[in-house]
A and B are shown apart, each in its own frame.
Chain A
Amino acid sequence: MLLKLLDRLEETLIMFLIAASTLIIFVAVVHRYLASASIPGLQDWLLTLNFGWAQELCIIMFVWMAKFGAAYGVRTGIHVGVDVFINSLQSRMRARFVVFGLLAGAAFTGTIGTLGAHFVWENGLGYALMSALGSTGDYFEGPTTPDLEWPTWIVYSAIPLGSYLMCFRFLQVMTSFLRTGELPTHDHGHVDGIEPDGVPVDANPYNMDDDLHPADIKHHAGKGDGK
């Protein structure tokens, strides 16, 4: 139940971020051109608006999208690798490599998450927390972003949050692989706009059953060449 909620939250967040940043850039560009056109009334009002922060916000949103989207990507099995070698192995051996790969992913993201958390703590979270409690101690207040003047620790907290989530996803995929021998599917999904069989047009070309992804045990038992 809680996991379902987390899944939904993750999906909603990245969908929102990509849509919102597109809109922001669109509005900022349109604003730039409309404000320079001399339309009485409208122009004065437009000139009072300032979109100088649009670019910065867009970058921040995309970095957040990249971090949480990468975690979502573990769940959908989209991350590409060089799997030619392991896909030519017997399934027992291949399973070991798959587990090793997933563990390595968890170890890397866990380390990065911890490093990031430390960084965020040193650069303002510590100060913010302590000043809320009454004393700032010897913590550093931390810098702010140039245009929006947001504290950078809030912005950078995408690293620990996203990385820990990704670490969790790696472990999640690993336990389900150990239990069922199944990896997140690179299924061809259903067909949009093009009927009978064949690959759907909205298929994700980075998510095919190929040697960029490890072949799992459930669907490719025995000595597979990954197909």
Chain B
Amino acid sequence: MNAALIFGILAVLMLTGMPVSISLGLTVLTFLFAFTEVPLEAVALKLFTGIEKFEIMAIPFFILAGNFLTHGGVARRMIAFATSMVGHFRGGLGLSAVFACALFAAVSGSSPATVVAIGSILLPAMVKAGYPKAFGVGVIASAGGLGILIPPSIVMVMYAVSTNSSIGALFMAGVIPGLLLALFLGFTTWYRAMRYNYPREKPHSWGERWDAFRKSIWGLLLILVVMGGIYSGMFTATEAAAMSAVYAFVIAIFVYRDIGFRDVPKVLLNSANMSAMLLYIITNAVLFSFILTNEQIPQGIAGWLLDSGLGKIGFLVAVNILLLIMGNFMEPSSIILITAPILFPIAMKLGIDPVHFGVMITVNMEIGMITPPVGLNLYVASGISHMGLTECTKAVWPWLMTMLLFLLIITYVPEVTLWLPRTLGML
């Protein structure tokens, strides 16, 4: 009963278009004020203590690192390397787009940023080389989704924070699915290019490839700082994030020289703005999950679902459908913060691995980013291509199907996700 009430208030408030963070907070206030005896002062304190966790601080650091390197120059180097490696296949520029998105994802951690960076350079090049625009938009919008699957990923940190899972294990678990999805998307790209006879680029010599690799390696080393640092136990996840932010700063300013010192305040302000928005959602989501726990709603729902005889398979199907629907209306961070406190305890009761569950949710979020009405990647792609949102939606469908197939594999073959972290002893 209370569950219906709380989610009812939340849904109504959210539909009025107010910020998600405010709807969460107001739901809590309304509910506490009208239906319970919990002192309201506790709420104010929670607002501070809610984000008093060192793990959460990885988010601003990763955003900062990403923003230093989310720059045309870095994207160009990654694209040059990708093109030199796979450009000579049929549909070479499309394959390069997938490859470059995967590389860029390793520095940026944000899907829309990946689409912007890679798309605004490669899309014009593809159109010039004779590819249909829709093909380019489809490839880039969907491959941009790799940004949240390949570590470092802000969405994964969100999940780790709200379920107390290990950030390091999640990141490690994202590596193989990330590469596999890149392979899947690449295959779809290649297949369509064969079928419609799209052009290919001239082959590059190994010398040129080495040269392109050397130029892009500085950016790519960021992932080594993060993953190597966490895996070797040199840093905690948050420290690794801070180190990567400093590394990104040094590379951007002194090595690549894409930005100068006078651009630094802008990057800082932009990162602070983005992080504060996300942290504010987290704070209010913590409040929200506090009343959920207080009313024992997660346990209630879990008990009810388990009694109704829902098995592991049925539950995973239900979660996928729920998240895919939510992905059509909200952005990933809010979805994870709202649903994780409810879904996670059920998943645990059913014996699903927390890391596997996290990666599955992340893949879901990726798909949500290329489905309308709220698909961030679609918006960005429509912005850079000057194509309407509907056309962009039509353009992504072959890759959307590929991703749905991939989601099935991730959902029902946990080993794809769990093998690497388990082999490395992180689980």
Contact = CB atoms under 8 A, between A and B. Distances in A.
Interface of A: 11, 14-15, 17-19, 21-23, 25-26, 29, 33, 55, 58-59, 62-63, 65-70, 72-73, 76, 78-87, 97-98, 100-102, 104-105, 107-109, 111-112, 115-116, 118-119, 122, 155-156, 158-159, 163, 188, 191-194, 196-206, 208-212, 214, 227
B52 A63 contact: yes
Given A97-B16, A100-B16, A198 B383 contact: yes
B276 A70 contact: yes
B98 interface: no
Main secondary structure of the interface of A (DSSP, over half): helix
A53 to B, nearest CB: 13
Interface in B74-126: 75, 110-113, 116-117, 119-121, 123-124
Given A62-B275, A66-B276, 19 more contacts: A23-B246, A26-B242, A65-B60, A66-B275, A70-B279, A72-B273, A81-B23, A82-B20, A82-B330, A85-B15, A101-B22, A104-B16, A105-B18, A198-B120, A200-B120, A201-B72, A206-B277, A211-B373, A212-B374
A65 B276 contact: yes
Contacts of B54: 55, 58-59
Contact of A70 (B64, B239, B280): B280
A119 B45 contact: yes
B395 interface: no
B71 A201 contact: yes
Main secondary structure of the interface of B (DSSP, over half): helix
A82 B14 contact: yes
A193 B72 contact: yes
Contacts of A115: 40-41, 43-44
B329 interface: yes
Nearest to A78: B277
Nearest to A58: B57
A159 B276 contact: no
Contact of B270 (A21, A163, A204): A204
A26 B239 CA distance: 7
B314 interface: no
Contacts of A159: 44, 47-48
Contacts of B123: 198
21 contacts: A15-B268, A18-B268, A22-B61, A22-B245, A25-B239, A29-B239, A58-B57, A65-B275, A80-B19, A80-B330, A82-B15, A82-B374, A85-B17, A104-B18, A119-B44, A156-B45, A192-B72, A199-B380, A199-B383, A208-B112, A227-B389
Contacts of B130: none
A199 B116 contact: yes
B143 to A, nearest CB: 15
B376 interface: yes
B370 to A, nearest CB: 13
B270 A62 contact: no
Contacts of B411: none
B413 interface: no
B389 A15 contact: no
Interface string B235-266: 10011001101100000000000110001011
A175 B170 CA distance: 45
Residue among B21, B235, B272 facing the most chain A CB atoms (10 A cut-off): B272
Contact of B273 (A59, A107, A204): A204
Contacts of B25: 108, 112
B119 to A, nearest CB: 8
Contact of B17 (A26, A67, A112, A214): A214
A197 B121 CA distance: 11
A73 B273 CA distance: 6
Interface in B114-152: 116-117, 119-121, 123-124
B51 A62 contact: yes
